């Protein structure tokens, strides 16, 4: 009897512990399909392996060989199955916490269900073999399963408090029974059962918990598995949009700007037109020169030569402030405070000749020294719409032949030549992106004006995409712009700007990708603005014929700490998964069905046990029956205290006869002993009722 109880402890409780770990994985990631089948199967598998191992010592080696053969035959399916399971787990984490874990794209979805089941079965087989071997070493088994359960508790986006209490309670009961503390084990078992059911229903109604501890641990896991480049603290990424899945600025002070400004000011640094493998590539061309001037400086000359005087208006039209394209000439100073970027910052329509640096192509200025202060002159764009409207009304037919007018003619000729270069270089679209753009409901048209097409791109991105500082990484093998436009539909400024560049090019507007800083109008304090990594930004810029490059804001969002916190708050609200009442009712029904099944199983087990006892009694001869009843009498004798002394002498005489005499025991003597046992049982129940009433 003692041996049977020991076997029950070593079999049943570890099986429950094993099942709780499996249940935690399913419940933590809300995998409802085949959940109870897998949990029940894990219990049966564990008990089967333990039974075989006890009866045949070579079973462990046979199981290891079977697992090896299983791996050899189904290695391709197992790899595909584990990748599918990984994708499901990554999807649950990314949806709940936007952590940007990688997805495997090289998965075969044709037989995804079969491969997933094979992977789970293989995992259960390996885990069952390991746990059946370690059950002889309970402390090691406790440490191993404890690490597994805590890992699931931390990593899983959904609460598994019910499973955790089942796991913890089972271990406490296990160790208590091994030390002979039956009452304490029973008390703990009852308390766990009472706690598990309400906690289970609580787990079903909770949304994913995004705690600082859980997020920090998951971020460290992601860094170990995916590298450090995932998170950008702020600042410029130099066009690498594929490797950054999250922007997390810290408020680090980068530089100060001095200028007589009250409006938003764009300072550009990294400008690119060539997109290759998820990255905007920096140009390696030398300085592009037209008409003796570097192309990057030509826009400044438009205002400096007062070319806006050639904008024509209707005879009775009265100009207002809305028609003013540029401000007066202004002085600007940038004073760097932190580590300086490779490329210098400068505003639009700036006199580049005053900046000490190396001009690259027609877009950027690389740093050639370690100076911290730079002075420059520029014209601020007052009204971008007025610039587009003025471009359509420029009339150079009346330019004369004075010295000043000759300079103006040279400027027009130079801008015509540069415009030809721009249309050749900055309208290119990769085939994969061009194919993607055709599937979008984007209503740009070559027949529309530039301003109308720009507004359509801005409106389309605002309507169909969500701004987020944690969009996650693009799956391996996919283009980040195509993935943003078609699948993820969530991103920050670099994704928006990248998509906008190709949308604008598709509408016939030359465009480039720009990274820099956007200083808000509310940042200026008596002509000074402090710039932090919160102001880092990306945008598209478009070319306006004869005038130059203009910034186009496509995110619909502002820069700064306040905007960042608002986006984070909205992002968290949008990711919160509201509990589904239908799903909750379904889960309750599943639990009730499971409880009903367990109850039926228990009833069947009890009935089988009773039938086995009856069958056992039938096979006994009268002497064996008397000895069997004696064991029962001893049990009730201990409970009654003096019941053995007050018992009828006839009963114990029959027992002595059965034990020490060779004489036969009659059926009548068996009935006498059985009747005495029944009387003791009835008396024991009555005494129990009286004692309970007295209490």
* 11 in Cβ contact with 179 (< 8 Å): no
Pairing between β-strand 548-552 and β-strand 536-544 as defined by DSSP bridges? antiparallel
State the pLDDT at residue 641. Answer: 42
Mean pLDDT of 311-340: 84
Q: Would you give the end-to-end CA distance of the chain in angstroms?
A: 33
CA dist 234 to 107, 442, 561, Å?
34, 31, 11
Grouping H, G, I as helix, E, B as strand and the rest as coil, residue 330 is strand
92 or 147: which leads in pLDDT? 147
Q: What is the mean pLDDT of the chain?
A: 79
Confidence band, pLDDT 50/70/90 cuts, at residue 202: low
| 274-310 residue pLDDT tens | 998 888 998 888 888 888 888 998 899 888 888 888 8
d(CA 494, CA 566): 19
For 325, counting Cβ atoms within 10 Å of its Cβ (0-12 exposed, 13-18 middle, 19+ buried), the class is buried
Instruction: Report, as an integer, the average pLDDT of 8-26.
Output: 75
201, containing H or E segment: helix 182-205
- Quote the pLDDT of residue 369: 85
The average pLDDT across 361-374 equals: 89
- The span from the CA of 124 to the CA of 42, in Å, is 6
Average pLDDT over residues 35-46: 76
Q: Do 658 and 627 contact (CB within 8 A), yes or no?
A: yes
User: Of 551, 549, 552, 541, which Cα lies nearest the Cα of 352?
Assistant: 549
pLDDT at site 3:
46
Please answer whether residues 250 and 524 qualify as being in contact, where contact means their C-beta atoms are separated by less than 8 angstroms: no
Taking 90 as the threshold, does the pLDDT of residue 200 lie above it? no
- Closest by CA to 81, choosing from 71, 66, 67, 94, is 71
617 vs 632: CA distance, rounded Å: 13
- 3-class DSSP assignment, residue 291: coil
Residue 376 host element (H or E):
strand 373-381
Query: Among the listed ranges 30-44, 490-504, 529-543, 665-679, which one has the minimum average pLDDT value?
Result: 30-44
The SS3 call for residue 143 is helix
The number of beta carbons lying within 10 Å of the beta carbon of residue 172 is 17
The top-scoring range by mean pLDDT among 38-52, 331-345, 527-541, 654-668 is 527-541
Residue with the bigger pLDDT between 319 and 157: it is: 319
Query: Secondary structure of 464-519 in the HEC alphabet?
Result: HCEECCCCCCCCCCCCHHHHHHHHHCEECHHHHHHHHHHHHHHCCCCEEEEEEEEE
The percent of residues in the chain predicted with pLDDT above 90, rounded, is: 22
More confident residue, 358 or 657: 358
Residue 396: per-residue pLDDT: 79
The three-point CA angle 211-216-222 to 5° equals: 125
Contact 296, 344 (CB under 8 A): no
CA 553, CA 497: separation in Å to the nearest integer?
8
pTM comes to 0.63
pLDDT of residue 578: 46
The conformational region for residue 400 under phi > 0 = left, psi -120 to 50 = alpha, else beta, is beta
Instruction: Name the nearest CA neighbour of 13 among 191, 193, 167.
Output: 167
Domain ranges of the chain: 2-217, 231-575, 604-694
> How high is the pLDDT of residue 577?
45
* Rounded distance between C-alpha atoms, residue 298 and residue 414, angstroms: 8
Task: Specify the pLDDT at position 553.
Answer: 94
Rg (CA), the chain: 40
- Residue 264: name the closest of 327, 206, 211 by CA: 327
* Start-end of H helices in 227-331: 298-304
d(CA 339, CA 35): 54
Tell me the pLDDT tens digit for each residue of 108-126. Answer: 667 777 888 888 888 877 8
pLDDT tops 70 at residue 556: yes
3-state secondary structure of 457: helix
- Residue 642, pLDDT > 50, answer no
Is the pLDDT at 6 greater than 70, yes or no?
Answer: no
Tell me the pairing of strands 265-272 and 346-347: antiparallel
- Cβ proximity of 427 and 508 under 8 Å: yes
pLDDT above 80: residue 646: no
């Amino acid at each position: 009897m003692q041996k049977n109880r020991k076997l029950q402890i070593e079999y049943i409780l570890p099986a429950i512990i094993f099942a709780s770990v499996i249940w935690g994985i399913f419940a933590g990631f809300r995998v409802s399909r085949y959940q109870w089948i897998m949990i029940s199967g894990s219990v049966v598998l564990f008990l089967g392996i333990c039974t075989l191992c006890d009866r045949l010592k070579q079973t462990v080696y046979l199981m290891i060989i079977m697992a090896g053969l299983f791996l050899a035959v189904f290695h391709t399916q197992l790899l595909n199955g584990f990748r599918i399971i990984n994708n499901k787990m990554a999807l649950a984490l990314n949806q709940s916490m936007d952590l940007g874990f990688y997805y495997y794209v090289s998965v075969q979805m044709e037989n995804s269900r079969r491969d997933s089941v094979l992977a789970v079965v293989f995992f259960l087989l390996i885990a069952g073999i390991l746990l059946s071997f370690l059950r002889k070493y309970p402390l090691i088994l406790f440490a191993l399963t404890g690490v597994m359960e805590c890992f699931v508790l931390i990593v899983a986006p959904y609460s598994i408090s019910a499973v955790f209490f089942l796991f913890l309670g089972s271990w406490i009961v296990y160790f208590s029974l091994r030390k002979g503390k039956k009452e304490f084990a029973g008390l703990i078992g009852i308390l766990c059962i009472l706690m598990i059911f309400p906690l289970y229903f609580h787990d079903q109604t909770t949304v994913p918990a995004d705690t600082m501890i859980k997020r920090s641990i998951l971020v460290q896991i992601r860094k170990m598995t995916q590298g450090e480049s995932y998170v950008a603290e702020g600042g410029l990424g130099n066009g690498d949009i594929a490797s950054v899945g999250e922007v997390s600025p810290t408020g680090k002070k980068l530089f100060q700007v001095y200028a007589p400004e009250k409006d938003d000011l764009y300072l550009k640094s990294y400008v690119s037109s060539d997109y290759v493998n998820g990255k905007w590539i920096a140009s390696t061309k030398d300085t592009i020169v037209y008409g003796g001037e570097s192309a990057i400086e030509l826009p400044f000359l438009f205002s400096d030569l007062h070319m806006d005087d050639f904008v024509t208006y209707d005879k009775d039209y009265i100009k207002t402030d809305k028609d003013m394209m540029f401000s007066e000439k202004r002085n600007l100073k940038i004073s760097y405070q932190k580590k300086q970027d490779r490329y210098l910052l400068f505003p639009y329509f700036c006199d580049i000749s005053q900046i000490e640096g190396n001009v690259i192509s027609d877009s950027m200025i690389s740093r050639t020294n370690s100076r911290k202060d730079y002075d420059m002159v520029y014209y601020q764009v007052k009204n971008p719409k007025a610039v587009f409207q003025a471009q359509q009304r420029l009339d150079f037919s009346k330019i004369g032949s004075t010295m000043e007018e000759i300079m103006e003619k040279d400027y027009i000729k130079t801008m015509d030549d540069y415009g030809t270069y721009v249309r050749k270089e900055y309208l290119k679209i990769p085939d994969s992106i061009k194919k993607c753009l055709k599937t979008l409901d984007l209503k740009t048209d070559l027949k529309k004006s530039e301003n109308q097409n720009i507004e359509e791109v801005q409106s389309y991105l605002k309507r169909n995409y969500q701004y987020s500082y944690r969009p996650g990484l693009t799956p391996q093998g996919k283009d980040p712009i195509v993935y943003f436009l078609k699948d993820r539909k969530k991103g920050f400024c670099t994704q928006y700007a990248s998509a906008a560049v190709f949308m604008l090019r598709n509408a016939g507007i030359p465009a480039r990708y720009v990274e820099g800083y956007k200083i808000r109008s509310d940042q200026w304090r008596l002509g000074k603005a402090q710039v932090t990594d919160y102001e880092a930004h990306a945008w598209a810029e478009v070319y306006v014929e004869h005038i130059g490059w203009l910034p186009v804001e496509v995110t619909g969002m502002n820069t700064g700490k306040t905007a960042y916190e608002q986006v984070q708050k909205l992002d968290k609200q949008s990711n919160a998964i509201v509990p589904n009442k239908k799903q909750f009712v379904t889960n309750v029904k599943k639990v009730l069905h499971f409880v009903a099944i367990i109850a039926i199983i228990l009833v069947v087990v009890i009935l089988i046990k009773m039938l086995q006892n009856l069958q056992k009694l039938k096979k006994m001869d009268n002497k064996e029956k008397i000895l069997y009843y004696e064991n029962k009498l001893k049990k009730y004798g201990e409970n009654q205290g003096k019941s053995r002394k007050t018992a009828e002498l006839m009963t114990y005489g029959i027992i002595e006869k059965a034990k020490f005499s060779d004489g036969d025991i009659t059926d009548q003597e068996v009935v006498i002993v059985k009747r005495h046992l029944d009387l003791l049982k009835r008396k024991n129940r009555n005494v129990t009722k009286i004692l309970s009433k007295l209490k």
